[in-house]
Structure 1
Amino acid sequence: MKKSIAIFDTTLRDGTQGEGISLSAEDKFKIARRLDSLGVHYIEGGIPGSNSKDIEFFRRIKSYTWNARFVAFGSTRRKDSIADQDANLNRIIEAQVPAATLVGKAWDFHVHTALQTSLEENLAMIADSIAYLKQHQLEVMLDAEHFFDGFKHNSEYALQVLRTAANAGADWVVLCDTNGGTLPHEIHQIVSAAIEGTQVKIGIHTHNDCELAVANSLAAVQAGALQVQGTMNGYGERCGNANLCSIIPNLQLKLDYNCIADDQLQQLTSVARYVSEIANVNMPVNQPYVGNASFAHKGGIHVSAILKDSRTYEHIQPELVGNKQRVLVSELAGQSNVLSKAQQLGYELDAGKPATKAIIERIKQLEHEGYQFEGADASLELMLRQAISNEQEPFQFESFKILVEKSKNRPVVSEAIVKINIDNESIYMAAEGNGPVNALDNALRKALSRHYPGIEDMHLTDYKVRVLDESDTTAAKVRVLIESTDFEHTWSTVGVSQNVIEASWEALVDSIRYALYGKEKKLQTNERKESLGIVNH
């Protein structure tokens, strides 16, 4: 029988200590809902009463039913004080959550230097605080801070901290590699010693300062830890926390532990990207399991092989974690890349036909001019569709004009005027924006909205400009990449020109064309389902 591992997510608390990450109460609530659907067992919400955001968050979660257990975070009572008079502990109780995490010192150096108290008083602080929360029927976990450094310096005292917590009624003691400097073999040895030296369930909480947080978490579980703490995408202070997006599939798919249900594991990629979007932090494309390039193939030999059997260059099926295989098409692409890409998109290309060779040559020519399709799948798909099917475009471009006004007492205002044609109807529309591209986007969508009302569901999420030849200074070609989403899917488009506005317009038009194409496909799919008597609920 598979051994079960409890997953403890601290994105909303420890993750927000990462540089550049700030979550509102609404942001935290949205993320919590997705984490709950993912199936994590514990969600650490923050420090009750410490700020208005956390106060609002703990208030809001009371109105909903959750599968996960919410956890309030705090520290042990202050030195030389009484637990039931400690404001921090009382705020945890007032939060009315089922579980609490208390951080306590496990390194004698920290007790003397940071707390400036005696080793005996530190143990009393831990015991009193846990016992007080247990009196109020909370599930209590002790985060034994700096446990591994403490064990290496004074193993007897570090173990005494764990025994003190257990004797006071702690449900879990969590061993923290707070400075992130411990190696996997040390983790395994020390966790084994901790399990042998105390009678309480053990958890692990690692940081990534040596790029080993995931490996250290796995080593701890293999030594007997039953709970893993971490964050989505590894967010956290300094170099981050252990990344649950890697830990969960490694435990479940590689080591045969039971963490979450298989159908929940298939949500992993979408949840990781959703959290990234809410946190306004770009995910590394090469992030394992959930990154956009995790199962991307560019080399012609690789692509030729995966067409025969994906196991040749993929260690798992991408769908197990909700990701998908991608074939990148570039100037390095061989025929296999283009054929595979077309097949993924639902098009059948005949390798022997001149049209196929023409498409490959066209891609290589465009890449030579500065286009890059490996990061702009939507533009590539549109080009393939146009070459293969000769479908009518949803609209025809006629002209655009941009006005930028700067006056003394007001900020810069951009206005775009767009003229397009739909079914022989000329449409002329103007709109303002906080920049030329935003104004163009607003004007184009206004022009399309009467014929394509669903266009309101999409928006741009990222905009990147890269100068292709810096030696040409202000006359240099630029490449613009635009990422867009409709909250179900995300896609990227590309434009290239010596004029940044023209390059932006090209990428923007592709983005909207792709959005309209996606809605057309969805409509066709629904129509086919209805014809077969299949009803969506």
Structure 2
Amino acid sequence: MNRVFIYDTTLRDGTQGEGISLSVEDKVKIAQRLDRLGVAYIEGGWPSSNPKDMEFFRRAQKLPWKNAKIAAFGSTCRPGSMACDDPNLKAIVESGAPVATIFGKTWDFHVTTALKTTLEENLRLIHDSVTFLKESGMEVIFDAEHFYDGYAANPEYAKEAILTAEKAGADWVCLCDTNGGTLPQEILAVTQEIVFLARVPIGLHVHNDGDLAVANSLMGVMAGARQIQGTINGYGERCGNANLCSIIPNVQVKMKMDCIPGESLAHLTDTAHYIAEIANQTLRNDMPYVGRSAFAHKGGMHVSALLKDAQTYEHVTPETVGNQRRILVSELSGMSNVIYKAKELGLDISHQNPQARQIIDNIKELENQGYQFEGAEASFELMLRRAFDQEPEPFVLDAIKLMIEKRSNAEFTSEATIKLRIGDQVVHTAAEGNGPVNAVDNALRKALGTAYPFLQSCHLSDYKVRVLDEKNATGSPVRVLIETRDAHDTWSTVGVSTNIIEASWEALRDSFLYGWLQQQKKGDTDPVG
């Protein structure tokens, strides 16, 4: 087979990661997105463990699945019991899922210490459990728990355990590096032996405790394994599971083996971000392939080469996985960074243009003052447009006045008064807030909201303040970074001053100006009224 079957266990193993909890509705949404991505199997949970998982399987039976089969998870029956009487196995059958994935012990140490039974009884548990599920009409995947540790301790018993599952009719045997401590060369050698030994197709389920889960999964594929189990973004217990967002493009693009439909690969990045959002997790910027920084370039020499050919510093095109190239601008930037950004904005600039050198010098001076444009690309675009006399001017500020009051036995109150001009119209208004910055934000929105209704869809999603020089104590300069969102986009702006209100105002002003600029590109920025 020139295909690797992707088995996603985000909904079960992924939720064992610290800080991750999914509702039934969350699990349904994630499963539908995974099916759209084109994975072969979606493990929905452990039906006997909690009512939430059983409800998911009830919902799953009523939904159409284009690419994926739904799998129910569980363990072999308990020592001394019959598989047909085991509540866990009966719950798997009753789940309505077409696929059963059960784990069983393959490490003799675990059999005698954790399971507290004999090696012979453990083999019976494996055989009877697989047989029961096969007789119930299900596809059966046997997860050989702790297989690589078991092989290192007692290879004959570990092999006997998986051959027992094969004889009972298992459709797949999946070798597990449950503790995540096996090295890639060991995975390669042992997996090759098992692929040669067994007639049943082999899969891998590895954990990331040695930061090797992706590498180990790829070693398994090289050895002949044709199913890889993992989670989106590598979520999972302890250090996580094998990250499918790295495995899928490596297998599909680098190893040239099918694992999801070709056109679906371009949905990988949005799938990673979508699932991170539902799981309430911040996706690391440096995540390979799908992270915001995966195709971000900062060094001037790098960007100069990219202008000639992107292959000079990119191993795949960002569009392949649905990501995008970003050119960062900082004091480390060269002329090429500015030229690249200017071209993105449709501005006419070249190495010979004296404006380019002036812009570079200006950036370096501003960053010396504490500005940080690589984290505030919206402010950088506005600065670039100012240099080309293209700065938007939807309003002109006349004055801001702040009043902060504290009375005995009462909380601090903040009120901002703002006076500005929109065209020929003077707007003078005031607003309160739960602090001076919030009051200024509310007053600006109140002043502009009638003329520019799009502001109603914008909200501040993050506000960060950093003291730049602690030696001056409360007189130190501060940098304010603001992140703003609307229904479609996110943008960041920056302000720097020894006055936190002034720094916040700079960032707030740029936030609105950039939002207005995006609306202008859509042709929807004329003042109302």
In the superposition, the TM-score normalised over structure 2's length comes to 0.90
Give the number of aligned pairs.
521
Note the alpha carbon deviations across 1:208-250, whole angstroms, 9 max, x for none. Answer: 1111111100000011111111111111112111111111111
Note the C-alpha offset of 1:124. Answer: 1.9
Q: 1:93 to 1:392 in 2, by over 3 A?
A: same
Distance in 2 (CA, whole Å) between partners of 1:108 and 1:436 is 65
Q: Corresponding residue for 1:204? A: 204
1:11, 1:231 within 8 Å by CA — same for their partners in 2? yes
Structure 1, 388-397 or 101-110: larger mean CA deviation: 388-397
Corresponding residue of 1:4: 3
Map of 1:532 onto structure 2: none
Answer whether contact 2:141 2:174 (CA < 8 A) is retained: yes
TM-aligned CA deviation for residue 59 of structure 1: 3.6
Q: State yes or no: 1:430 paired with 2:431.
A: yes
Distance verdict in 2 for CA 1:448–1:229, change over 3 Å: farther
Question: Cα offset for 1:190?
Answer: 0.9
1:419, distance to aligned residue in structure 2 (A): 5.7
- Give the match for residue 90 of structure 1: 90
Shift of the 500–262 alpha-carbon distance from structure 1 to 2, 3 Å rule, reads farther
Tell me by how many angstroms 1:52 deviates.
4.6
Question: After the TM superposition, which residues 173-212 of structure 1 pair with which residues of structure 2 at under 5 Å, given as runs?
Answer: 173-212=173-212
Shift of the 451–93 alpha-carbon distance from structure 1 to 2, 3 Å rule, reads farther
Instruction: Tell me the equivalent position of 2:394.
Output: 394
Q: 1:179 to 1:379 in 2, by over 3 A?
A: same
The 1:160/1:368 distance shift into structure 2, 3 A limit, reads same
Q: 1:477, 1:498 within 8 Å by CA — same for their partners in 2?
A: yes
Letter of the structure 2 residue corresponding to residue 280 of structure 1: N
Could you report, residue by residue, the CA deviation over 1:471-529 in whole angstroms, capped at 9, with x for unpaired residues? 333332222333344454433222223344543443344334323322332448xxxxx
**Alignment map for 1:228-247 (pairs within 5 Å):** 228-247=228-247
Q: Is the 8 A contact 1:269 1:321 kept in 2?
A: yes
Cα 1:407/1:59, change in 2 over 3 Å: farther
Inter-CA distance 408–248: structure 2 relative to 1 (3 Å threshold): farther
- Contact 2:192–2:224, Cα closer than 8 Å, also in 1: yes
Q: Quick check: 1:20 aligned with 2:19?
A: yes
Once the two structures are TM-superposed, the CA of residue 176 in structure 1 deviates from its matched residue by 0.8
2: distance between equivalents of 1:129 and 1:297? 53
Bigger mean CA deviation after superposition, 263-272 or 143-152: 263-272
- Which residue in 1 is equivalent to 2:527? none
Residue 60 (structure 1) aligned with residue 37 (structure 2): no
How far apart, CA to CA, are the structure 1 residues paired with 2:69 and 2:114? 31
Deviations 1:243-277 (A, max 9, x none): 11111111111111111233211111222122222
Corresponding residue of 1:368: 368
**Residue 71 of structure 2 aligns to a residue in which SS?**
strand
Shift in Å, 1:57 = 3.2
Matches within 5 A, 1:276-315: 276-315=276-315
**Structure 2 CA distance for aligned equivalents of residues 62 and 442 of structure 1:** 48
Deviates more, 1:368-377 or 1:134-143: 134-143
Instruction: Tell me how far 1:278 sits from its aligned partner.
Output: 2.5
Whether the aligned pair in 1 keeps the contact of 2:382 and 2:391 (CA below 8 Å) is no
Shift of 1:131: 2.3
Q: SS at 1:332's partner residue?
A: coil
- Counterpart secondary structure, 2:236: coil
* Deviation sequence 1:97-128 (CA, Å, 0-9, x none): 22222121111101111111111222222222
CA positional deviation for 1:420: 5.2
Q: After the TM superposition, which residues 18-417 of structure 1 pair with which residues of structure 2 at under 5 Å, given as runs?
A: 18-67=17-66, 68-397=68-397, 398-399=399-400, 401=402
Maintained 8 Å contact 2:404/2:412: no
Distance 1:76 1:310, change over 3 A: same
CA distances 1:447-478 after superposition (whole Å, capped 9, x unpaired): 54444444444444444333322333333222
Q: CA RMSD in A?
A: 2.8
| 8 Å Cα contact 1:79/1:121 also seen in 2 | yes
Instruction: Quote the Cα distance in structure 1 between the aligned partners of 2:363 and 2:259.
Output: 44
- State the secondary structure of the residue aligned to 1:301: helix
Say which is worse superposed, 485-494 or 185-194, in terms of deviation.
485-494
SS of match in other structure, 2:241: coil
Please report how far the alpha carbon of residue 329 of structure 1 lies from its aligned counterpart in structure 2 after TM superposition. 0.9
Cα displacement (A) at 1:291 = 1.7
Distance in 2 (CA, whole Å) between partners of 1:133 and 1:415 is 68
CA gap 1:124/1:35 in 2 versus in 1, 3 angstroms: same
CA shift in 2, pair 1:22/1:363, >3 Å: same
The alpha-carbon deviation at position 178 of structure 1 amounts to 0.7
Contact 2:7 2:230 in 1 (8 A): yes
Where do 5+ consecutive residues of structure 2 fail to align? 525-529
- For 1:66 and 1:417, locate their aligned partners in 2 and report how far apart those are by CA, in whole Å: 56
Distance 1:441 1:431 in 2: 9
Distance 1:462 1:392, change over 3 A: closer
Q: What letter corresponds to residue 400 of structure 2 in structure 1? A: S
Contact 1:420 1:428 in 2 (8 A): no
Q: How does 1:459-478 map to 2 (within 5 A)?
A: 459-478=459-478
Contact 2:392–2:517 (Cα < 8 Å) also in 1: no
Distance 1:461-1:116 versus aligned 2 partners, 3 A rule: farther
8 Å CA contact 1:159, 1:198 repeated in 2: no
Q: Is the 8 A contact 1:329 1:374 kept in 2?
A: yes
Question: Mapping of 1:496-511 within 5 angstroms?
Answer: 496-511=496-511
Alpha-carbon separation, structure 1, partners of 2:81 and 2:95? 22
State the distance in 2 between where 1:439 and 1:56 align.
Answer: 46
User: Could you tell me how far apart the structure 1 residues matched to 2:442 and 2:125 are?
Assistant: 59
SS at 1:222's partner residue? helix
AA matched with 2:59: R
Structure 1 residue 61: Cα displacement: 3.2
Give distance in 2, aligned partners of 1:10 and 1:167.
26
Task: Name which of structure 1's ranges 468-477 and 222-231 shifts more when overlaid on structure 2.
Answer: 468-477
Matched, 1:491 2:487: no
Give, as a single letter, the amino acid of the residue that structure 2 aligns with 1:3: N
Paired with 1:330 and 1:162, the residues of 2 have a C-alpha distance of 56
Q: 1:414 to 1:282 in 2, by over 3 A?
A: farther
Change (3 A) 1:96 1:186: same
Deviation at 1:368, TM superposition (A): 0.8
Identity of aligned residues (%): 57
Q: In the aligned structure 1, how far is the partner of 2:94 from the partner of 2:403?
A: 56
